[in-house]
Structure 1
Amino acid sequence: MKENFDTICAPSTPLKESGIAVIRISGPSALKIAEKVFEANKKIEPEKAIRGKIKISGIEDRAILLYFKEPNSYTGEDVVELQIHGNPLLVRKVIDALIHNGCRLAEPGEFTKRAFLNGKMDLIQAEAVARLISAKSERALKVASRIRNGELSERILELRENLLKLLVLTEGSIEFPDDVEVHYEEIIEGMKRVRDAIRCLIERGEEGRRIFEGYKVVITGKPNVGKSTLFNKFLGFERAIVSPYPGTTRDYIDSVIFLDGREMRFYDTAGLRSSFEPVEEKGIEIAKRLKEESDLIILLFDGSEPPNDDDINLIKSVKENSIPVLNKIDKGIKEEWERMGMNFFKVSALTGKGIEELKKEIAKRLSSELEDEIFITEMRHLNLLEEAEKELEFALESPGNLELLAESLRFVNRKLEELLGITTDEVIDEIFKNFCVGK
């Protein structure tokens, strides 16, 4: 149902010098207020670009006005967008003039909040707008776009529809036991299907986190095997200090790079060795922790020196998410490494030989078999789905009472409703306050 709101305004582009700045106005008086600061060259018509001038406080500047008549706008209300030259002082003056003529400065996320409240999108789609704006990789952009276009919402609506059918069967069996056939097995099997579908979405939550926060790639190994040199080679510039002295890197250094459309955060860590120096020992502890938290480990060895006991112990620690790499091949590889029978990647971080092949292997290892699937990207979504899955699991572990099954189904339905935004004002306010002003 359409809400009754006042008229708001805000810049929709960053408040800094640029070729063009956009100011958005939304509400019942949007066009009326806009016409007090904008002088059009011709009659203003919906969805047509109108040339004219901004005229305020003795300032005249050429501008373009776009008018979207409700409900055919982003917010579902009358919306006006003013395109002016991107001088921050001019933008502020236009905003001040709009406020003077009856607008209110929009709160963070208020345009999208109005779109949600006016039925232009559900809460899942509204949250995806923020993800769409902040996406740093091609993959993140694609996932956010699909969620904004309603693909995740469709999955949740389908789950809710199936759930409500089960609830009708259950409550019918409770209310009219003598007139309605009890569909007990059908209810149990249906609950299992809903649980499995929710579980599948939950399992993709970790991949959703990686897509938007970046994959963690940790470079680890003994001191002086070339970790910092390799780190710098990946970045394409010198970020870490390179030194011939062991123990130079005492804390971790991290930086983001993009491989195959994915955001990856690479970590250069302290060399793994026994140390009696407290600062270095702390760095080694951090390196071990990052190694455990990583999505991928690049385990680096110095191929120009024969392996010792420390190398052997590190090789024994190789996990499925590790890529063992022999560095310094420009100096030659000792035969002992070849005799180990391991599938090492061979590179020279100094000359760059083998680096492109290693990058391809990293991208391949971190590619998902679920490329075309939709992912859970918000902790709010994940928490609600986990609550729903836990409730269904509990109900299925102790079946036999139709009233308890019906209560579990109602609980899960409430969680799906909250996910879609059929929920309380407090939750809605908390979500939209994290948006940027102008959106």
Structure 2
Amino acid sequence: MIFDTIAAISSPLGTGAISVIRISGDKTKKLIEDIFGINNPEPKKMYYGWVKENNEIIDEVTWVYHKGPRSYTGEDMLEIFGHGGILVTKKILNLIISKGLREALPGEFSKRAVMNKKMDLVKAEAINELIHANSDYALKAAANQMEGKLSEQINNFKKELFNIAARIEVEMDYPEDFEVDNFEFLNSLNNIREELYYLYENADNGISAIEGIKMAIVGKPNAGKSTLLNALLRKDRAIVTDIPGTTRDTIEESLNIRGILIRTIDTAGIRETEDVVEKIGVERSLKAIEESKLILFVLDNSTGVEDYDIEIYEKIKHYNDKEIIIVINKSDINNEDKFDIPWNHDVVKISAATGRIKELEDKIFDKLKDSVITNELTLTNERQKNAVKKAIDSISKAIEGIQLGLTNDAIMFDVRKAIEGLNELTGEDYTETLLDNIFGNFCVGK
């Protein structure tokens, strides 16, 4: 399959000004000759022409030929720009497929670019993250990785490790002529480990910027949790009634507060219940709390703090790694004299029903902004984080081996394992399964 010539629609399906069809593979020039009648197209030049089938016009188009290896995939490529209609675009694609080409799989163009060393895996993932970015912080994190400075830094680490491995190997082959300076190796390995550990420790910021931060809305039944979710989303997503227990399961929605992607979970009211369905909802609510970074603990201003509220707080206070904001809802009801909060957390008064939530949004941003700040050397997904951890662990073993006076072949083994970890990060040591898993999440045509 890797040697097939592939084709796909690269623009979104729908009615628009222009559609794009992309072709890559060794049959590209033959396709150009068959469709446009040009034998030797000039690379990077925009051509104008007609796409016809059985002498009947399908569309009026422009097209560009990219000669490999100076193309996105490293192969001969063709990009056709036609009118942006669903039917006309599909008719052109069907005509192309009928010439002996295969429709591309999701992400197959980018996969070929990695396999042909036109880009590394880090940049390929950054391209996909850039396309799917739905917050300013996600966009910045993806753009930083696309710039290539992270890849450059990783390649520098690999060069240093290769240099260490080579010098150890020379000493092993010619022990009488060369003597390895283990102290110098220790310094180099410690410096690389320190830099990699910085990447590893700050990876969660990049992952949070791309994937979003989980925030749970919790409280007793009828405190106004679903109304608050609807207010934050600026739309009616959750069913709101005066009947306690209306929300019986968790509802997850994404929202954007000042460039931060937040995966907001409206939980079922946490209470003791004999209702089987509601009980499952409560269990899921507790799991959502456990997975969230921020908890909005909603209290009902009309009732004051009740036993229900105290029971819920007892369940959430043990999560020391969670930020908690106490949200007093229905603050348009005057009840100041009987509302005493016994807990030491930030308190925000809102009226979810009237949409008075700006102060709460400000507080949410303040609590989460430091968790999504990234720089040009930030990892952005768990795969990258795990690969770096593998390299760190191997370098640590090599350092320990030198300190314990182990043989050079043992130290060499760990240094090479560290290089393998970094190769996994950039995609130099890949498996078909790994690439399929990664690029299966890409758009078709990218």
| TM-superposed deviation, 1:181 | 4.2
1:386 to 361, 384, 389: 389
Q: Deviations over 1:260-305 (max 9, x none)?
A: 2222111111122232333322222211111111021101112333
Q: How many residues align?
A: 433
Residues 54, 63 of structure 1: 8 Å contact kept: yes
Aligned to 2:68: 70
- The answer as to 2:200 corresponding to 1:198 is no
2:291 to 279, 290, 293: 293
Percent of aligned positions that are identical? 38
1:308 to 306, 309, 316: 306
Aligned to 1:416: 422
Instruction: Structure 1 unaligned segments of length 5 or more: list them.
Output: none
Q: 1:258 and 1:201 mapped to 2: Cα distance? A: 26
Q: 1:47 and 1:262 mapped to 2: Cα distance? A: 39
- The answer as to 2:367 corresponding to 1:365 is yes
Aligned to 2:258: 260
Distance 1:293 1:101, change over 3 A: closer
User: Partner letter of residue 270 of structure 2?
Assistant: L
- The answer as to 2:46 corresponding to 1:49 is yes
User: Partner letter of residue 238 of structure 2?
Assistant: A
| TM-superposed deviation, 1:323 | 0.9
Q: Deviations over 1:113-162 (max 9, x none)?
A: 33223332122222333323333323222222322332321221122122
Q: 1:339 and 1:425 mapped to 2: Cα distance? A: 56
Q: 1:233 and 1:186 mapped to 2: Cα distance? A: 60
Aligned to 1:279: 277
Aligned to 1:400: 405
Structure 1 residue runs of 4+, over 6 Å off? none
Length-normalised TM-score, structure 2: 0.87
Q: Deviations over 1:201-226 (max 9, x none)?
A: 22333333322322111100122211
What secondary structure is seen at the aligned counterpart in 1 of 2:62? Answer: strand
Residues 170, 187 of structure 1: 8 Å contact kept: no
Q: Deviations over 1:400-419 (max 9, x none)?
A: 21332221101111222232
| Mapping of residues 222-261 of structure 1, within 5 Å | 222-261=220-259
Q: 2:97 and 2:277 mapped to 1: Cα distance? A: 56
1:215 to 213, 216, 230: 213
User: Partner letter of residue 432 of structure 2?
Assistant: E
What secondary structure is seen at the aligned counterpart in 2 of 1:270? Answer: coil
Residues 143, 374 of structure 1: 8 Å contact kept: no
Q: 1:86 and 1:263 mapped to 2: Cα distance? A: 31
What secondary structure is seen at the aligned counterpart in 1 of 2:383? Answer: helix
User: Partner letter of residue 377 of structure 1?
Assistant: T
Report the RMSD for the aligned CA atoms in angstroms: 2.8
What secondary structure is seen at the aligned counterpart in 2 of 1:194? Answer: helix
Q: 2:353 and 2:359 mapped to 1: Cα distance? A: 15
| TM-superposed deviation, 1:429 | 4.7
Distance 1:142 1:386, change over 3 A: same
| TM-superposed deviation, 1:60 | 4.2
What secondary structure is seen at the aligned counterpart in 2 of 1:330? Answer: coil
Residues 305, 334 of structure 1: 8 Å contact kept: no
Aligned to 2:328: 326
| TM-superposed deviation, 1:438 | 1.7
Distance 1:347 1:100, change over 3 A: closer
Instruction: Structure 2 unaligned segments of length 5 or more: list them.
Output: none
| TM-superposed deviation, 1:178 | 4.3
Q: 1:276 and 1:28 mapped to 2: Cα distance? A: 66
Q: Which moved more, 1:150-159 or 1:315-324?
A: 315-324
User: Partner letter of residue 136 of structure 1?
Assistant: N
| TM-superposed deviation, 1:37 | 2.4
Aligned to 2:443: 436
Residues 16, 83 of structure 2: 8 Å contact kept: yes
What secondary structure is seen at the aligned counterpart in 1 of 2:332? Answer: helix
What secondary structure is seen at the aligned counterpart in 1 of 2:358? Answer: helix
Q: Deviations over 1:151-203 (max 9, x none)?
A: 32122112212222332443344444444444222222322222232222223
